[in-house]
A and B are shown apart, each in its own frame.
Chain A
């Protein structure tokens, strides 16, 4: 009997292989550690005032990078929540609130990919993901930390975060996904055929 099977046929019913779960989670953990290190740097940037928000991007990358790499519905939110939990477990100046952030940002970053039913990973979709994730973070910040700040200032902050969402989140995620693919460690994940990154 010939026992040949292609890897795509071999997905368990849920669509998530162990490899998908663990790679997504490890990406989340790696970024959680990065968050934890950056949290301190963030406070030191407070002197920049609203300009600080240009550096918001790194906290949102997992939400966009994981869908680009793993290409499974839910990977963005899973990676972002794991990353947030890790930074909470390691200790963060935003405490366990970061879990709420993780859920909201992950969900927002995930939406554009879901909208294409995880068929397209082209630039516009990735940029939309970066922007939505930034928007989620912006709204939460407004509610939790800047509720007394004037709306005009909020709009400036939002614009800066949008810039970060496009450049750092979308651009950075595409760069990292490409670097991983070039290094040859993403074999067996759905390939980049037909779509940009």
Chain B
């Protein structure tokens, strides 16, 4: 990609020796003892259970610790011969491109082309080179022609591809990606994966990747670094060797492996249909009938959608980015009012219920956990708004979700890893026992263990009669949940027969 006339850097080597990173105010380093050699143009996949320090490590590799992210760096790390942490940050950053998980807070400028150019300006590209490079970078990620669009108006998937274009534009020698597909639908994730595959094949840049979607990530890797839950490495090896020699250790740590592995004891294999408790007969707990909704005039998100959820039933809500899954959940639990049609929760209009009563009937886990935090510590966050009997349960729920209060209770919710934040927001709802649980992307950022714990907890709830509806991009979860599947398309729900299951009743596809 780089020619003599364009700036940019050749792929760089990354070397770590006994690398450790600690956050301020915490004695134990988040990661330690990391050593590896990554030759130029190769791809390092970092895997590990939630909270094992993957994000911390890759931020350090990107040269952001301690300059931008406060923290302490020990041991040896060299990126293309430059040592992050001791040299001028600008020198390293010049060769690195970074894409994080949350697309919207990576976009800096109002217009797409200005945003792509932002990184080129900082690297002092001459203007003619920028003018030539911006459309090319947009083309590489499939956004040709988007130059003057507003970044805030793009869909989640488009924003994430724009973030990749911004990272790729300066032709970085090293590309660092931290769960870049976490918010993307399966189609968007596959497209993103293909772009990465092309980069990897061309050896255009060294790549350091954190990704929970094993099937997407492992084929890209030349080298895999597996971290344990204590932040110490389990092993560093090429993928094939990792799978053959260290499989047991990886499975043990709860790391997702490629192939339909389901290794170890079959914790979550969907139970055979006969043992599935049939939804108890009777009135549905939640009903949306002919519901239409739009945030802005003339841009409807839902059009006369129908959905009914029976007590104890499980529904997986699928659909592309922007199809309205989150919107439908918020309507069901009375956080939004439909512009047409009716929503009923236990026979009442949820939008009119007083908060206390609503919280008895329905729980809602929002898509972005951080936006819903109300307290300054993990413990206070779980306890917010609980009565005495529910309080007694807090410890158990937190333990079950891998957030033991002894370790996490006093920590700030904002200083947790992404997966830990997700579990905290779920714990804050699972301590209650509402009749309907609406979960928005409950599984992102989870390792196999925390995933299984979550599925087990939900199962318990379902058996006790709670209805669960979950919006998700995670097809494995949709099937493990073991209920019916509804796909949102064109503002309406369409029932989808899960493999081997009959088409579920309750949804009227108009």
Chain A residues with CB under 8 Å of chain B are: 1-7, 10, 12, 17-19, 182-185, 187-188
Contacts and interface: CB of A to CB of B under 8 A. Distances in A.
Given A1-B76, A10-B67, A17-B67, A183 B414 contact: yes
15 contacts: A1-B86, A3-B74, A3-B75, A3-B86, A5-B66, A5-B85, A17-B67, A17-B68, A184-B413, A185-B412, A185-B414, A187-B24, A187-B25, A187-B415, A188-B24
Q: Give the interface centre of B25, B70, B83, B414 by most chain A CB atoms within 10 Å.
A: B70
B163 interface: no
A-B CB proximity, top 5 nearest: A184-B412, A188-B70, A3-B85, A3-B86, A182-B376
Given A183-B412, A183-B414, A184-B376, A18 B73 contact: no
A23 to B, nearest CB: 12
Given A6-B66, A19-B68, A184 B73 contact: no
A4 B376 contact: no
B227 to A, nearest CB: 20
Interface in B61-77: 66-77
B66 A7 contact: yes
B142 interface: no
Contacts of A6: 66, 72
B24 A3 contact: no
Contacts of B68: 17-19
Contacts of A19: 68
A18 to B, nearest CB: 7
B368 to A, nearest CB: 16
A3 B76 contact: yes
B290 interface: no
Majority secondary structure of chain A interface residues (helix, strand, loop or mixed): loop
Given A4-B72, A5-B73, A184 B414 contact: yes
Nearest to A188: B70
A33 to B, nearest CB: 15
Contacts of A188: 24, 69-70
A4 B18 CA distance: 13
B70 A3 contact: no
Contact of A2 (B23, B76, B89, B411): B76
B119 interface: no
Contacts of B89: 10, 12
A5 B67 CA distance: 9
A114 B76 CA distance: 40
Interface residues of B, number: 26
User: Which of A12, A17, A188 is most buried by chain B, counting CB atoms within 10 A of its CB?
Assistant: A188
Contacts of A10: 66-67, 89
A183 B376 CA distance: 4
B70 A187 contact: yes
A108 to B, nearest CB: 31
Contacts of A1: 76, 83, 86
B73 A7 contact: no
Nearest to B74: A4
Nearest to A183: B376
B173 interface: no
B84 interface: yes
Nearest to B25: A187
Contacts of B83: 1, 3
A2 to B, nearest CB: 7
Contact of A5 (B24, B76, B86, B414): B86
A2 B74 contact: yes
A176 to B, nearest CB: 13
B70 A184 contact: no
Contacts of B415: 184, 187
Nearest to A5: B85
A185 B413 CA distance: 9
A182 B373 CA distance: 13
Contact of B85 (A4, A17, A18, A187): A4
A166 B85 CA distance: 43
Interface in B51-110: 66-77, 83-86, 89
B414 A7 contact: no
